[in-house]
Amino acid sequence: QVQLQESGPGLVKPSETLSLTCAVSGYSISSGYYWGWIRQPPGKGLEWIGSIYHSGSTYYNPSLKSRVTISVDTSKNQFSLKLSSVTAADTAVYYCARAPGMTHFDYWGQGTLVTVSS
State the number of binding residues for another protein (CB under 8 A).
Answer: 20
**Cα torsion through 98, 100, 102, 106, rounded to 10:** -50
* Binding flags for another protein, 6-45, as an x/- string (CB under 8 A): ------------------------------x-x------x
Rounded Cα gap, residues 85 and 15, in angstroms: 4
Q: Is 112 in the site for another protein (CB under 8 A)?
A: no
Three-state DSSP class for residue 8:
coil
The only residue of 5, 23, 27, 48 in contact with another protein, by rule CB under 8 A: 48
Within 69-108, the residues that bind another protein by CB under 8 A are: 95, 102-106, 108
Rounded Cα gap, residues 13 and 88, in angstroms: 9
8 Å CB contact between 42 and 92: yes
CB of 5 to another protein, least distance (A): 11
